[in-house]
Structure 1
Amino acid sequence: MSAEHQSEMPLGRNVMLEYATDALEYATDALQRNLLFWDVLRQRSEEYYRHKAMAMPHVLSFDLEVVLDARDFECPVNFWLAHIEPPAGVEIDPLKRPFVVFDPRAGHGPGIGGFKADSELGVAMRAGHACYFVGFTPDPMPQQTVEEVMHAHARFLEAVIARHAKAEGRPCVIGNCQAGWAVMMLAAVRPELFGPIIIAGTPLSYWAGQKGQNPMRYSGGLLGGSWLTALTSDVGGGRFDGSHLVSNFENLDPSNSLWTKYYHLWANVDSEAPRFLEFEKWWGGHVDLSAEEMQWIVDELFIGNRLATAELVTGDGVRIDLRHIDSPILCFCSEGDNITPPPQALGWICDLYRTDDDIVAAGQTIVYAVHASVGHLGIFVSGSVTRKEHQEFISNIDLIDVLPPGLYEAVMTPKTDETANPEWVEGDWLVRFEPRSLADVAAIVRPDPDDERRFATAKRVSDINLGLYRTLMQPFVRAQANAGVAEWLHRMTPAELPYEWFSERNPLMSPLADLAERVKEERRPVSGDNWLVNLQENYSRCVVATLDGWRDLRDSAVERWFMAFYGSPVTQALVGLGASDAPPRPHPGQTPECIALVERRMAEIHTRIGEGGLREAALRGLVYISMGGGGADERAFNALRGMRGEYSELSLASFKQAVREQFLALRLDQQAALDAIPAMLAGETQSRDKVMKVIRRVVSAAGGVTDEQYRRLTAIEGMFAEPG
């Protein structure tokens, strides 16, 4: 129709024609989108079954060489150790410590630690470190246990150490999410195998959390304890279906799981498919656990919360006490993580220690870093997090390794043109490790004695219900269970059924691939100013708001019920937790054994306070000066490498030990330690000026010097001045 005739048409008719045109355009686009969307889901299903058919399925983006397969061990478990081949153009320094990444086994398959080039593995290799990866197969070995897995992990680390005997420093081990607690348990039993430990998004204090924010911690009490875990494993023929764990994560955010991620794909189907399929390959790669493993994890950790208070004992009688870890521990968590919130990542510090002096006396270095917003998966896969936090942790791993005992927070600021001595800053961020106290951690964790009693009550109710199940129901359930029933139930789970629906096993999906190709040839996307697109977006926002509202209502009701039932004096009395001021869990820092250990260590340090020569005196002076400032700065450490170069015979491990001894001497009796310096310098007149120049260079490396540091530097200069 010509523009002249259109202008003569009534206004209402023009509007109706525009609305009809927009509706036809939108309907065409929507039909095409639906077909393309269904085809992406078909591709996801086909990729799922291809991935599942692999001998060792993983989503690593790097080539690898399997070094050990623990299925061949005397006590077989379904884990494997692989050496990661560096990408083209990346050179590995054989003298640098290797990195070993342990991936979480919480329903998903392995590979998230090397999911893309900007990942933990990728950053470590670009920094010149050889890298290894610990993965697992989807099927556990029959009746394998957590302790057998721990022994297999020890053999993996022994193999890595043997392959890098000339490397300076023991392996840095990264434990992601659930793998973090497994790493910490092994490090408590075999500390000699570990260099610095990085645990990212790892829950270690399972009862901790904030009211109104962390509903997942109530799950055990809501279900009446771990009897349901036992039932699920029995129905599964001795295996716990990992898809149930995935469903638990998805239930935390139903608006995303049920709507947003699919709507985002549908609305951007022309460009979003590759990213969606890449992520779903990992998210949908479900793996199982043995009944023995899962029951132990739920009883001893998630509901029992016994790791942080040294209540766990191995089969050969070794107590798993996290205070025995002699490597620095870096805890990385995020305020935006609703699966492992900061209280669960850091609460173990408050559980294990009573005072700041206890941490120092144990010789333990603990560093924490709290991201402001990234979610749980972002801790491992976010490119921005990898390029900032993980890159800085890895580039400063030697500094972390030599930090004196105590509690620190990693503080990062951008490197700018105004940054002093930028040549000593690696990367785009300047890192400082600032001293913190238990009070600082407690402000994040917010320990609550009343909550402690509620969760202890839930633990006892769980034990009762599990005992009743094992006595009254388990024999019957096991008698009825078989492989066919287990397979049918697995295929019917909400996490598994969609793959079946949209796979080519469904006859209705067979012609979809050809239809999708034809649609791509005739694609007619809707224009962005179409009024139906705005209506579509408004509708999506309404769906999200409705699901979020339902989630908030559900979580609030669960929390109120948990607090009321398990906080009831009657419930607590019925399970044997009557009115008492005694804590429901022991705190190991208060035991006579711990007090005696601390006293012995302090006495040993005191007897050696005057030992050493020029090197020890120089380190003591540097530590004394640094204690008057705001923490350890990476620039000062990189300058300190120059001082270490003056003593080429001193290995990194010996250097670390020397720094720690001088710190402990100053912490124990500062005045006596300072008074001993002149005697330590006796007979070293020719080298004093040279060492003093190094000390000044290190002190000034971080830029400004505080008044207290200047006062201390002046005092040390007086001690190093040649006599008479």
Structure 2
Amino acid sequence: MNARQPAGSGLAPAQDAPASPSPFPDLSAISAYAAHPLAQAAWEYGVDAWQRSILFLDILRRRGNETAEHERGGMPPVLVFEHEVLMDGRDMPKPVNYALLRIVPPDANPTDPDKRPFVVMDPRAGHGPGIGGFKEDSEIGNAIRGGHPCYFITFFRDPCPGQTIEDVARLEASFLSAVAERHPNAPGKPFVVGNCQAGWALLILAAAAPDVTGPILLAGAPVAYWSGVRGKNPMRYSGGLLGGSWLSSLAADMGNGRFDGAWLVQNFEKLNPANALWEKLYNVYAKADTEGPRFLEFERWWGGHFLMNREEIDWIVQNLFVGNHLTAGEIHSTDGQTLIDLRNVRSPVIVFASWGDNITPPQQALNWIPDLYANVDEIVANQQTIVYCLHPSIGHLGIFVSASVANREHTELFCALDLIDVLPPGLYEAKIEDVAPGTSHRDLIEGRYLVRFERRTIDDILALDDGREDERPFEVVRRVAEINQHLYDTYASPFVRAAATEVTAEAIRETHPARMERKLASDTNPLMAWVGALAPMVREHRQPVSADNPFLAMQTAMSDQIVSMLNQYRDVRDAWQEQWFESLYATPWLPAMLGMETTVRRAESPAILALRAEVAELRKREALAHMGDGTSLDAFTRILAYVTQGKSAIEERPFNLLRKLAREHPPEKRVTLAQFKDAVWRQNYVVSLDADAALQALPALVPDMKERRRVMVLAHRVLTVGGPLDDDWLARYRQVAAVLGADHSSPATRDAEAGAAADSAT
């Protein structure tokens, strides 16, 4: 601070400061009045805080205006990519408020129609569509940069009268069939991404119509709704504490037959009151100069609330959230002809979850696997491939909107998609790691990271949970919910529906707090007019506070204290809810009062179990009977399966080498991805049944000695991409060479021994 003493009376500085066109006081002139550095710091902070307040209010005003504009425009998807409508479900014989969009690739990233098409499905869970592609670094952006044709399944704000979840699934199946027809030369069926609530919808679709999808990715998708960890996942208790599903039915009846998605959004926000009530807006206030664009971009999607028919929300809550019928195989089509059995899924399933997700924790994303299969042998027998990838910390929305996740997990999984498609049936965990210095064959690594798939067991999935005994009380919740729903439907619903009109329903929707906070801050509120007029002047004459200002530090400390208090409130609330839930549903008196003999989940029909066992045995006998039949491709894949039997990981470099070698052949002689996949699956199954018999049958597959040597050399080349063979693999490789009649001096055997020697030397 300038230490000059003011001249004359102590009320005026010695020299008049030059006139400033700014409407705000000049800090350099005011500083002459100050008698202490703290006073100057206070003034500096006060001017900055006042200016930030104006900028903050202006950002909220713009948010309200953009929300109103978005609603007037029909609430289109918030995609940043140009797109065109290919099919509109509202024009179908059975109208449904969904449509299929083709993403028009930018000139800088043309797509190849012969590559596998990608289809992204966004959740209809209160918000509108577009989160899978509302920025360049996104699921859609990564697909386009990879040269894949990309499509998007969107939906509109208002559901068509009478539409059901089954109608939606049937229409989505026709969308995927149309996409496949547009790309007849693609190496496989469309790869489909289901985000959040779209994940369970995609899984149901893949089970009901297994021929329309290629690999499917379930991103942050809840499937096992009762699962979670005690003390960490309180959202699963909501259904029991609210008495079941009747409240959603009441809300839909009051909405004149339509449920307002704003209530779902509000429930999500209640999970983290510190963020909803303070952090989100404080972050905008604290960074008012730079945070506006990012905040407005996200809020355009977050503030768009969509509707569902009562039939839809009832089906979702009663069958999934509260009933948890999906993994039990208790969901049927309306006509009773189709049973939704998730074992019918034929496509590889990729599950992406995060430990930082408090809406869909890893247990809810993965526990459907042990619900369906007792062990990995059952997964293999059912010819199912399941891959899961766990992020250590990202939150639920970060799974879809985080650029870091899009550029790492999504990109690498997309790059490894063809490898995932040909993985032998089983359970795998995807590991995405930085490429270590000195890694061999880096040219065979497609992305920025090395991807490998480590074999896992059902016990590995169960180890992610703290036990499943805490799911028993939810059986009681389901029964209570059924009773309350019946009482509501019988005695209350008729009166609520009779009293509701579209006028009252719209009034309820318009006065929802999530909509009111935006309207009150928009230009429709005359009290906000001064903000819009003053904000440009503030930006022009901005006087930001210095980073070391003590009052700014006090502001940050106060914010941290508020966040801490709200987090403490959340923890106490969640603990109380868990205790209250257990005091109601985990005690023996309530099941006894309801006439429930046990809280153990109902076992499957003995007839269904016997049928599955018979099918598995028939497939086993057929595979053993044809063990000596096949081609050079079968021999090659059997050798790989035999040598690597029991290996814990499969990585991308060997597969990419095979693709590179395949491209060197004339098109008419190339092995297609489908042919390679069939051979890998068939030969891995044969080896798993009887490895010794499979080994002894190899000569029948390749009678010609010259072809045998060619297959052995190719196998050795692939097996050593990651480094020389270890002792176990080398011994198995020599067994193969002996059975095929390749002597010890064959090129393949010499190469293998040399590699082993080099490995030992290092």
Q: TM-score, structure 1 length as denominator? A: 0.96
Identical aligned residues as a percent: 47
What does 1:697-712 correspond to in 2, within 5 Å? 697-712=717-732
Q: Which residue of 1 aligns with 2:692?
A: 671
Residues 158-167 or 644-653, more deviating: 644-653
2:644 pairs with 1:626: yes
1:703 shift after superposition? 2.0
State the match for 1:485 in structure 2.
504
Match of 2:26 in 1: none
1:566 corresponds to 2:581: no
Secondary structure in 2 matching 1:687:
helix
In structure 2, relative to structure 1, the CA distance for the partners of 1:359 and 1:555 (3 Å cut) is same
Q: Does 1:3 align with 2:22?
A: no
Contact 1:629 1:708 in 2 (8 A): no
Q: Match of 2:722, as an amino acid?
A: A
Q: CA deviation at 1:41?
A: 0.5
- 2:544 is the counterpart of 1:525: yes
Does 1:597 pair with 2:597? no
Query: Shift in Å at residue 486 of structure 1?
Result: 1.2
- Whether 2:667 is the aligned partner of 1:653: answer no
Instruction: Note if 1:128 corresponds to 2:147.
Output: yes
CA distance in 2, matches of 1:543, 1:56: 35
Alignment partner, residue 402 of structure 1: 422
Pick the aligned partner of 1:508 from 505, 522, 527: 527
- The code of the aligned residue for 1:629 comes to K
Q: How far apart are residue 686 of structure 1 and its match?
A: 2.5
Question: Relative to 1, partners in 2 of residues 1:380 and 1:430: Cα closer, same or farther, differing over 3 Å?
Answer: same
User: What residue number does 1:383 align with?
Assistant: 403
Note the alpha carbon deviations across 1:118-142, whole angstroms, 9 max, x for none.
Answer: 1111111111110001111111111
Secondary structure at 2:189 match in 1 = coil
Specify the alignment match of 1:278 in structure 2. Answer: 297
**AA aligned opposite 1:612:** G
- 1:353 and 2:369 correspond: no
1:681 aligns with 2:702: yes
Question: Contact 2:243/2:484 (CA < 8 Å) preserved in 1?
Answer: yes
CA distance in 2, matches of 1:627, 1:722: 21
- C-alpha separation between the residues in 2 aligned to 1:463 and 1:64? 44
Number of the residue aligned with 2:658: 640
Aligned to 2:389: 369
Determine which structure has more spread, i.e. the larger CA radius of gyration. Answer: 2
Q: Tell me if 1:73 matches 2:92.
A: yes
Taking structure 1 as reference, are residues 289 and 456 closer, same or farther at Cα in structure 2, changes over 3 Å only?
Answer: same
Contact 1:334 1:373 in 2 (8 A): yes
Which of these residues, 740, 746, 758, is aligned with residue 720 of structure 1? Answer: 740
Residue 418 of structure 1 and its aligned partner are, at CA, apart by 1.1
Alpha-carbon distance, 1:184 to partner: 0.6
CA contact (8 A) 1:623 1:663 kept: yes
In 2, the alpha carbon distance for the partners of 1:521 and 1:680 equals: 80
Report the Cα offset of residue 592 of structure 1.
Answer: 2.4
Inter-partner Cα distance in structure 1 for 2:34 and 2:44? 15
SS for the counterpart of 1:191 is coil
1: CA distance, partners of 2:170 / 2:714? 45
- The C-alpha deviation readout for 1:137-194, integer Å capped at 9, x for no partner, is 1111112100000001011001101100111111111111110111110100111111
Worse-superposed segment, 294-303 or 645-654:
645-654
Matches of 2:218 and 2:407, distance apart in 1: 17
**CA shift digits 1:228-257 (9 cap, x unpaired):** 011000000111100111101100101011
Could you list the runs of 5+ residues in structure 2 that have no partner in the other structure?
11-31, 745-762
Match of 1:220 in 2: 239
List per-residue Cα deviations over 1:588-643 (Å, max 9, x = no partner).
99822322222222222222222113221121111212224332110011122256
- Residue pairs, 1:134-533, within 5 angstroms: 134-316=153-335, 317-449=337-469, 451-533=470-552
Task: Tell me by how many angstroms 1:91 deviates.
Answer: 2.5
CA shift digits 1:356-398 (9 cap, x unpaired): 1110000000000100011111111111111111111111110
Larger CA deviation: 623-632 vs 348-357? 623-632
Kept in 2: contact 1:352–1:589 (CA 8 A): no
SS at match of 1:3: coil
1:526 Cα shift? 2.1
CA distance in 1, matches of 2:354, 2:475: 26
Per-residue deviation, 1:690: 1.7
Whole-angstrom CA distance in 2 between matches of 1:648 and 1:561: 67
| Corresponding residue for residue 696 of structure 1 | 716
Could you give the per-residue CA deviations for residues 673-703 of structure 1, whole angstroms, max 9, x where no partner exists? 1121122222x22222222211111001122
Q: TM-score under structure 2 normalisation?
A: 0.91
Q: Distance in 1 between matches of 2:283 and 2:75?
A: 31
- Give the SS at the match of 1:205: coil
**Residues 84, 588 of structure 1: CA spacing in aligned structure 2 closer, same or farther, 3 A cutoff?**
farther
Q: Which whole-Å deviations, capped at 9, do the CAs of 1:199-236 have from their partners, x for residues lacking one?
A: 11010100000000001111100100000011000000
In the comparison of the two structures, how many residue pairs are matched? 717
**Structure 1 position 515, deviation (Å):** 1.2
Q: 1:640 to 1:587 in 2, by over 3 A?
A: farther
Return closer, same or farther for 1:381/1:321 CA change in 2, 3 Å cut-off: same
332-341 or 55-64, larger mean C-alpha shift: 55-64
**Match in the other structure for 2:749:** none
CA distance in 2, matches of 1:579, 1:182: 31
- How far did residue 20 of structure 1 move? 3.0
Q: What is the root-mean-square deviation of aligned Cα atoms in Å?
A: 2.1
Q: Give the letter for the 2:59 counterpart.
A: V
Cα 1:523–1:14, aligned 2, differ >3 Å: closer, same or farther?
Answer: closer
User: Can you list the C-alpha shifts for 1:456-479, whole angstroms capped at 9, x where unaligned?
Assistant: 100100000000011111111111
- Report the equivalent of 2:628: 610
Contact 1:90-1:128 within 8 A present in 2 as well: yes
* Aligned residue identity for 2:716: R
The residue type paired with residue 104 of structure 1 is P
Counterpart for residue 758 of structure 2: none
| Equivalent position amino acid for 1:46 in 2 | N
Counterpart of 1:433 in 2: which secondary structure? strand
- Higher alpha-carbon deviation: 293-302 or 662-671: 662-671
Give the conservation status (yes or no) of the 8 Å contact 1:70–1:77.
Answer: yes
Distance 1:257 1:221 in 2: 24
